[in-house]
Amino acid sequence: MAMSRAPHWEHAVVTGGSGFVGSHLCAALLADGTEVTCVDDFSTGRRANLTALLGRPGFRLLEADVRVPFTVDRPPDLVLHFASPASPADYLRLPVHTLETGSLGTRNALALAHAHGARFVLASTSEVYGDPEEHPQNERYWGHVNPVGPRSVYDEAKRFGEALTSAAARARGTDTLIVRLFNTYGPRMRGYDGRAVPTFIRQALAGEPLTVTGDGLQTRSLCYVDDTVRGVLAAAAHGMPGPVNIGNPTEITMLDLARWIVELTGSRSDVRFVERPIDDPAVRCPDITLARDKLQWQPRVQAEEGLRRTIDWFRSQEAA
């Protein structure tokens, strides 16, 4: 059984640290007194996400492509591999880049961790479950993924990353963890990234119709970014190998989400149904028994509060 670790890290490397989740992770680590090196090529991340961190003591930015071997100027004791196009708009635009980040990028981040005896955390995804035939999804489920469909560039990149991470642990003794993140949302998402929450908020604030795919009855389980980051760091500190689901087990249909966002924004927008993407999962809901039992973790931020915070952030960006 994995033993719990001290919750403090001296130096963490966060690949993809200028992205949505990565930037929140950098901020949380820095607030805890951990020195942070953010590694990013800005292919999908944004420098604006790091504005509050640049220039702060203990924070370094290394502009580099993780698909190429890289080094940092101080040995890390924690490497968090969060680099990857994660939204449909990005991974469909950058299919080969996405697959290479999940393969070559994971290899290079693992090599960095192994060289320094650091704990390695792979940010995987609920997408490894594909369009699931088991519901809710627990970590023992192997998934139902179309390996040649358009979404496979992201799904299979993460599945390969998990396989490579597991192999490094078995063959080389690298200290590894796999976390599977479910539908994280919150401030710093991009309005045009193709994910439901930022798309609906952007459309509602602009008074545009909210574009719901298919009949809107497909479900997702929304986890506010602060809860996601807290879960990732709890799993890293525990020492467990994973995989472990980090998500909110409360489902909502996309049609209900769209109507709720219209209400919360005070918008007069209506809903417009559009074609549903190929291989779009019908259901998505994590079984978080493992995280609850081993980490004493579960989401704290209720969906309405999280959506209000996210809407307020989008409004602040309009006013800036």
pLDDT tens digits along 264-319? 999 999 999 999 999 899 999 999 999 999 999 999 999 999 999 999 999 999 87
- Residue 170 makes CB contacts below 8 A (sequence gap 6+) with none
Please give the Cα distance from 314 to 306 (Å, whole number): 12
- Taking the CA atoms of 193, 37, 82 and 112 in sequence, report the sign of the dihedral they define: positive
Q: pLDDT averaged over the chain? A: 95
Does residue 56 have a pLDDT over 70? yes
Position 8 scores a pLDDT of 83
21-41 CB burial, b ≥16 within 10 A, e <16 = bbbbbbbbbbeeebbbbbbbb
pLDDT tens digits along 227-249? 999 999 999 999 999 999 999 99
Does residue 163 have a pLDDT over 80? yes
In the block, tokens 């290899």 appear at 107
Is 192 a catalytic site residue? no
Give the burial class of 278: count Cβ atoms within 10 A of its Cβ; 0-12 exposed, 13-18 middle, 19 or more buried: exposed
pLDDT tens digits along 72-85? 999 999 999 999 99
SS3 assignment, position 111: helix
Position 217 scores a pLDDT of 97
Taking residues 138-146, what's their average pLDDT? Answer: 96
The residue from 91, 129, 154, 185 that is catalytic is 154
Does residue 222 have a pLDDT over 70? yes
Token pair recorded at residue 112: 């960095």
Position 320 scores a pLDDT of 61
Give the burial class of 240: count Cβ atoms within 10 A of its Cβ; 0-12 exposed, 13-18 middle, 19 or more buried: buried
Taking residues 45-62, what's their average pLDDT? Answer: 96
Does residue 23 have a pLDDT over 80? yes
Structural domains in the chain, CATH included, are: 11-319 (3.40.50.720)
Where residue 30 falls among pLDDT bands split at 50, 70, 90?
very high
Taking residues 42-68, what's their average pLDDT? Answer: 96
Taking residues 40-67, what's their average pLDDT? Answer: 96
Token pair recorded at residue 72: 């940092």
The fraction of the chain above a pLDDT of 90, given in percent, is: 94
252-265 CB burial, b ≥16 within 10 A, e <16 = bbbbebbbebbebb
Position 154 scores a pLDDT of 95
3-state helix, strand, coil in the chain (%, to 5): 40, 20, 40
